[in-house]
Amino acid sequence: MPASKSDATLAARLRNVNKSFGDGGSRLQVLKDINLEVRCGDITMLVGPSGCGKTTLISIIAGTLKVDDGSGEVSIFDQDLLKMRQAATTKFRSTNIGFIFQSFNLIPTLTCVENVSVPLLIQGKSTRYAEKKAREMLEQVGMADRMKHRPTQLSGGQQQRVAIARALVHDPRLIICDEPTAALDAKNGTLVMDLFANVARSPDRAVLIVTHDNRIFTHADRIAAMDDGRIIEVHDMDETHPLPENLSHGFHS
Amino acid sequence: MLRLALKMLFGDTGKFLMLVAGLIFATFLMAQQMAVFCGLMSWTAATLKNVPAPIWVVESKVDQVNETNPLLDTDVARVRSVDSVAWAAPLFSGIQRVRLENGSFKIIQLIGIDATTLAGAPVKIIEGNLADLRLPHAVVIDDLAVTRLAQIKGQPVKLGDMFEINDQEARVVAIADTMKSFTGGPYIWTTYERALQYSPAQRKMLSAVLAAPREGVSEAQCVADIEAETGLKAFLNRGFASGEGDFNYSTVWWYIRNTGIPFSFGITVVIGFIVGMAISCQTFYSFVLDHMKHLGALKAMGASTWMLCLMLLTQAFTVGLIGFGIGMFFTAQFAFPALAHEEPPFYMPEIVPFAVLGVILLICAFSALLGIWRVARLEPAMVFRG
């Protein structure tokens, strides 16, 4: 008998997380008492209008940003990120988290193979091993014929596919995507998302996507809607729970 | 990761070439100017190389070989009388004018040496016979005099040619290979007695006494004995940059202290340093800023600050070594003809390339530090901010 969704392993658990920037009168609280669970096997989308705190929230989950002193709990695969030292957080990130950025962030002077091999090289793997795995990953995302190309020689959709390969090459348990379709046209956005959902979805892996793009909501298992620094709604997507009207129109920056 | 760092560096062709060009310029300017300075300084002591003797004895106030105060003729005997001295010979050294057959005059450095021992004679005779110096009116000229004293351009002086020094006849019996002098005049050797005849008479004419230690006595001991027993100043003659107590060292330092030459060359070297530093720091910092987004992405993906710093240091030192290598290649292209023609002066002591390399690496380290400062403060979260 298959396990229910509520029994799935938790990739990330946030409890009462607050984050503010600035001091005194210019202090701005961008996250207010955030409580969120990201489950393995799910594609969770974090949606909401610009400035609502989505990017800050994924930065905290990625361990690249600290929460306010004494604020809540951030647990990734049962590891308390807030108690980790900087070096341990960096190492944890390199082995457990894959990233897909809005503007791809591929290094323009490196070939596709070299770009994809970067996460493995960061882990200290040999160049030979890293490039072998990178080639395999590029084949999976349909970029076998572009291995030696540089990012500037690729279209936006192709660049995002290389970025997907880079996010997956070291087999991370959590993938964080920041607006993965924002720099792509509608057709390429759908194609890239279809591909991504296909290669990234795995029972022991969680995918967290920040997006405005309502066309890709159909790929989500859960949608967490944010507004004004708070999570206002978490919606499980399945046949019995269709996308509510307020989310189906998406958000525009 | 370091390999990728280098690919990032080489891939940004414009900035890479700019960085290398700046460091080539700095290397060339510093190495070439230091070598020309050392060459010029070695010229100041050229007489010590061209008139070889283990020990030079001069008047007690003398500090440099080109400005000798005359001694009494009897001082040769006083030096000979020192127990640790094996031999001592008189030397005349002075600037004279040669009158050529066509009536033109040329400045020369006249050297008068002991006719019996020929102590102080040039080491390398390229034509003629040194022993012929004992013949009447005989002189030995150097390779510079061969062209400098030519009456017609393109017709060099040859053995047997005649000219006048102070209205007295001089005939070339040998040609020597010598080092060029600081004053620019060619060297002409004759016997001590004939040199006195060629020069206007003065009460004291002896410029220096050349000496050597007795077997089993060190040169330093001999120098100390001569100074103690005669009250004259004695110097060793071991060569350029050979340390205190040496006439070469004393001569070079006299020029460093009493002329603006080091200041002039020093300014050029400092300019080389400043230009290299400015170009390198500015370009490398700009390179780091251009790649800040990618460095941020690497940091987000789990690259430690230390790893990123190592990447920047690798990039900076690689550029430094390439710039240094090419800069030294250009310096060598300058050096070979300069050494072949003995002009302009060029002498590069072993320490100069190492010193220049040290300065270039210092420039690179400083350039990298600017980048490291930015990278250390870089928040990986910035990559999510678009």
Q: How confident is the model at residue A134 (pLDDT cuts 50, 70, 90)?
A: very high
Whether the predicted pLDDT of B242 surpasses 90: no
Query: Would you give the distance in Å from CA B24 to the centre of its chain?
Result: 22
Band (A248; pLDDT cuts 50, 70, 90) = low
Beta bridge partners of B235: B56
Complex-level ipTM: 0.82
Q: Which of A70-84, A191-205, A234-248, B175-189 has the lowest mean pLDDT?
A: A234-248
Percent residues over pLDDT 90 in chain B: 53
Interface of A with B in 79-98 (CB under 8 A): 87, 90-95, 97
Q: Does B326 touch chain A (CB under 8 A)?
A: no
The answer to whether A76 and A12 have CB atoms below 8 angstroms apart is: yes
- What ranges in B177-260 are assigned the alpha helix state H? 192-198, 219-230, 247-258
Contact B7 A114 (CB under 8 A): yes
Residues 6+ apart with CB under 8 A from A237: A217, A220, A221, A222, A223, A243
Which amino acid is located at B382 in the chain? M
d(CA B208, CA B223): 14
Indicate the DSSP class of residue B71.
B
Among B10, B291, B301, the residue with its CB nearest the CB of A99 is B301
Interatomic CA distance for residues A68 and A14, integer angstroms: 13
User: Chain B: residue nearest A66 by CA?
Assistant: B381
Say if residue A178's pLDDT is above 50.
Answer: yes
CB A122 within 8 A of CB A145: no
Query: In angstroms, rounded to a whole number, what is the distance separating the alpha carbons of residues A29 and A8?
Result: 32
- H-run or E-run covering A132: helix A127-140
**CB atoms B384 and A109 under 8 Å:** no
Closest Cβ opposite residue B379 in set A58, A64, A91: A64
Q: How far is A103 from chain B (nearest CA, A)?
A: 7
Do strands B162-165 and B85-99 pair parallel, antiparallel, or not at all (unpaired)? antiparallel
Minimum mean pLDDT range among A174-178, A236-240, B199-203? A236-240
Closest CA–CA distance from residue A62 to any residue of chain B (Å)? 8
pLDDT digits (tens, 9 = 90+) for A184-203: 777 777 777 887 777 778 88
B218 Ramachandran zone, left/alpha/beta (phi>0; psi -120 to 50):
beta
Q: How far apart are CA B62 and CA B209, in angstroms?
A: 13
- Of B5-14, B99-108, B205-214, give the range with the top mean pLDDT: B205-214
Q: Label residue B186 by pLDDT band (50, 70, 90).
A: very high
Cβ of B6 under 8 Å from any chain A Cβ?
A: no
Q: What is the pLDDT of residue A81?
A: 81
The DSSP code sequence of B117-180 is: T-TT--S-EEEE-GGGGGSTTEEEEEHHHHHHT-SSTT----TT-EEEETTEEEEEEEEE--PP
| Residue A198: exposure state from Cβ atoms within 10 A (0-12, 13-18, ≥19) | exposed
Quote the tokens at residue B74: 């009897």
| Nearest residue in B to A103, CA atom | B386
Q: The whole model's pTM is what?
A: 0.79
How high is the pLDDT of residue A7?
A: 53
Whether residues B293 and A105 touch (CB distance < 8 A) is answered with: yes
HSE, CB side, 13 Å, CA atoms: give it for residue B190.
26
Q: Cis peptide leading into B353, omega within 30 of 0?
A: no
Q: How confident is the model at residue A250 (pLDDT cuts 50, 70, 90)?
A: low
Q: Which of B4, B9, B16, B306 to mutate to test the interface with A (most CBs of A within 10 A)?
A: B4
| CA–CA separation, B197 and B12 (whole Å) | 73
A238 DSSP 8-state letter? B
Residue listed under structure tokens 């030696």: A148
Residue B386 pLDDT grade (very low, low, confident, very high; cuts 50, 70, 90)? low
Contact B149, B100 (CB under 8 A): yes
CB contact A102 to B (< 8 Å): yes
Q: Which residues contact A209 (CB under 8 A, 6 or more apart)?
A: A43, A44, A45, A46, A177, A180, A216, A220
- How confident is residue B355, by pLDDT bands cut at 50, 70 and 90? very high
**Ordered structural domains, chain A, with CATH:** 5-21+31-105+173-245 (3.40.50.300)
Out of A59, A62, A127, name the one closest to residue B3 (CB). A127
Tell me which residue in B300, B307, B386 faces A103 most closely, judged by beta carbons.
Answer: B386
State how far residue A218 is from chain B, nearest Cα, in angstroms. 24
Q: What is the pLDDT of residues B40-68, one digit of tens each?
A: 888 888 999 999 999 999 999 998 898 87
Contact A32, A235 (CB under 8 A): no
In eight-state DSSP terms, residue A163 is H
B59 at A interface, C-beta within 8 A: no
